[in-house]
Structure 1
Amino acid sequence: MNMSQQRGRAARTTERSPSRRAELIATGRKLFADTSYDALSMDDIARHAGVAKGLIYYYFKNKRGYYLAIIEDAVAGLTELAGSTRDLAPYARVRHTVDGYLRYAQHHQAAYRAIVTGGVGFDAEVLAIRDAVRDRMLTTIALGAWGRADLPPLARTALVGWLCSVEGVTLDWIREQLLPRETVGELLVRGLGDTLRLIEEYEPDCPAPPGPQSG
């Protein structure tokens, strides 16, 4: 193989790298959805992915790195779907955020459980990722409700309480599957409305946005 061919092969490998990494993450999400972390070996993962084990080490260093990459990818999908839409009125932004959050949990249940419950044995790094998701959600709600990202301590505490209830309700909903997503979303949005009105009582600079009837 001459130098020109080697350069061409190297260029093609570089071009394939992001897509190959994404393919491995997609495979891992399916595997960890059905099998526990401890039950999967790197040999198992490589066999299911149809690649040499060394390729997984190349991209992720070890199984833990692979698992964390899967969680981080899941987080990116969750925050993207739950993000606010700037051209909507405040109430519609909030509704859009909650619906996006529930859609993600509904269609990526294993990843959602890992994010919310802390992953493998309450893994500190996964918990840090979860906290980052919470912060992103709090910012999204604050921007949607008040057009500002900074939160007074009382407002933050109240919204964290609401968000923890969202996580509990969502986990129960995807496990039991007894209610349509729209109904669960409406319950959560109304609960958020109550929380925002309570915040307004203590923080007049954070008025609750009008509901659909008055907006």
Structure 2
Amino acid sequence: MSTTSSGPRTRMSPQQRREQLLDLGVRLFATRSLDEISIDLLAQEAGISRGLLYHYFGDKVAFREAVVRRAADDLVAQTEPPAEGDEIAKLLHSVAAYVDFVDANYEGYLSLVRGAASEPALRAVYDDAFRALGERFFDIGSSIVPDTPASRLLVRGWQAMTEELVLAWKAGETDLTRDQLLDLLVASLPALMGALPA
């Protein structure tokens, strides 16, 4: 069976092709652990040779790091709060986007969290994303999260708690609905801030 093209094929630049392969790697990240996302799998999914992938990424470690970096960048971008709205609405938007990202990319996200404990390259990506996500809570509004050393420490703890609760929720370890989980997470940050000494 033959197919006919409706127009001339556009040749991609090396950078465009690399970006396309990274996008495919991030799609695989949604349903597979990092150990399952290999050069062989991506070559098969993309219909290209392993050699071409090595040309774009160097080796499998660099490829995996590039995929994780892209996924982390996507997470940071997706959780950006809106410019308008009150502080609680902005907080809810960011937390809901985080929950939805973990929900949609559970296998890859879970393996990133686990891998960050033992692999320095993954740890660096994880730490960069964790820091960017935490920093935005100080931009949402000072009436919820004042920018002090104590509140910064509390935000780090709240982030770790949030990650743990969301992963447990996704794993089915609780009967909470998504909305109940969001209510719990959004209410807990101002409550922690309220415990700070005056």
Q: What TM-score do you get using the length of structure 1 for normalisation?
A: 0.76
Identity %: 24
Q: Which structure 2 residue ranges, 5 or more long, are not aligned?
A: 1-8
- Structure 2 counterpart SS, 1:27: helix
Residue identity opposite 2:46 in structure 1: A
User: What corresponds to 1:12 in structure 2?
Assistant: 11
User: What corresponds to 1:142 in structure 2?
Assistant: 138
Residue identity opposite 2:165 in structure 1: V
Select 2:45's aligned residue among 43, 48, 51.
48
Please say which of residues 40-49 and 190-199 is displaced more in the overlay.
Answer: 40-49
- Inter-CA distance 29–81: structure 2 relative to 1 (3 Å threshold): closer
Contact 1:94 1:145 in 2 (8 A): no
Quick one: distance in 2 between partners of 1:168 and 1:35? 18
Quick one: distance in 2 between partners of 1:78 and 1:36? 16
User: What corresponds to 1:163 in structure 2?
Assistant: 159
Q: Please tell me whether residue 172 in structure 1 is matched to residue 172 in structure 2.
A: no
- Structure 2 counterpart SS, 1:84: coil
More contact order relative to length (CA 8 Å, sep ≥ 6): 2
Residue identity opposite 2:62 in structure 1: G
Residue identity opposite 1:175 in structure 2: A
The alpha-carbon deviation at position 91 of structure 1 amounts to 1.2
Contact 1:98 1:185 in 2 (8 A): yes
Larger radius of gyration between Structure 1 and Structure 2 = 1
Q: Which structure 1 residue ranges, 5 or more long, are not aligned?
A: 1-8, 203-215
Select 2:188's aligned residue among 177, 188, 191.
191
* 1:28-76, Cα deviation, whole Å (9 max, x unpaired): 3455533661x66533442233101121112111111111111111111
Stretches (4+) displaced over 4 A: none
Quick one: distance in 2 between partners of 1:172 and 1:25? 28
User: What corresponds to 1:6 in structure 2?
Assistant: none
Quick one: distance in 2 between partners of 1:112 and 1:41? 16
User: What corresponds to 2:87 in structure 1?
Assistant: 90
Select 2:55's aligned residue among 45, 48, 58.
58
RMSD over aligned CA atoms reads: 2.8
Q: What TM-score do you get using the length of structure 2 for normalisation?
A: 0.82
